[in-house]
């Protein structure tokens, strides 16, 4: 169950993050230093923090550097109102078609989130159906922001 949620989140993250119009980019981060959120390399550090602080991830420990792709699968309007700074935006309805914009590695660590977790679950499932094996449903925006900004 935990693995399924992780994969769904990954799928969702990929879907949200593939749309790199103006405020998003598909720069992955490592699980090393995730405490900064001030803009320059904060995307990398935020994603690292998320991977480190989430006990629902089945991936590498703090010693191993593993890339985490954070994908916001909400609508463009929701994205524009606020999002995790390190995330990329791919609506859950586009995740299957656009995941390649973020990563094509089937074992890549992906965290997907939406408003409360429902669409993230749909995105996670879609990614898993495409063969992605390390997808996490991060839940809602508040949950994911808490992981990146607290700690």
CATH of the domain at 41: 3.40.250.10
The 10s digit of each residue's pLDDT in 72-122 is 999 999 999 999 999 999 999 999 999 999 999 999 999 999 999 999 999
* Contact criterion met (CB below 8 Å) for 84 and 144: yes
The 10s digit of each residue's pLDDT in 25-34 is 454 544 443 3
Per-residue pLDDT at 6: 57
Per-residue pLDDT at 4: 55
- Catalytic status, residue 16: no
Per-residue pLDDT at 38: 38
Q: Is the pTM of this model over 0.75?
A: no
* Contact criterion met (CB below 8 Å) for 30 and 48: yes
Per-residue pLDDT at 41: 39
The 10s digit of each residue's pLDDT in 110-146 is 999 999 999 999 999 999 999 999 999 999 999 999 8
| Two tokens, residue 2 | 């935990």
* Distance (Å, whole) CA 139 – CA 42: 21
Q: pLDDT over 70 for what percent of the chain?
A: 56
- End-to-end Cα spacing for the chain: 26
Per-residue pLDDT at 53: 37
Q: How many domains does the chain have?
A: 1
* Given 90, 114, 126, 135, the catalytic residue: 114
Residue from 39, 62, 144, 73 nearest 48 by CA: 62
pLDDT band (50, 70, 90) for residue 60: very low
Domain containing 89: what range? 2-149
């Amino acid at each position: 169950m935990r693995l399924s949620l992780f994969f769904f989140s990954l799928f969702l993250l990929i879907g949200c993050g593939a749309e790199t119009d103006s405020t998003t980019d598909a720069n992955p981060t490592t699980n090393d230093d995730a405490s900064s959120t001030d803009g320059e390399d904060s995307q990398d550090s935020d994603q690292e923090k998320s991977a480190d602080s989430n006990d629902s991830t089945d991936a590498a420990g703090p010693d191993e550097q593993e890339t985490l792709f954070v994908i916001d699968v909400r609508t463009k309007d929701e994205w524009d109102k606020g999002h995790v700074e390190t995330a990329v935006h791919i609506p859950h309805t586009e995740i299957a078609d656009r995941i390649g914009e973020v990563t094509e590695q089937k074992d890549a660590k992906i965290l997907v989130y939406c408003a409360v977790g429902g669409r993230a679950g749909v995105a996670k499932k879609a990614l898993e159906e495409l063969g992605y094996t390390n997808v996490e449903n991060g839940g809602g925006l508040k949950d994911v922001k808490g992981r990146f900004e607290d700690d």
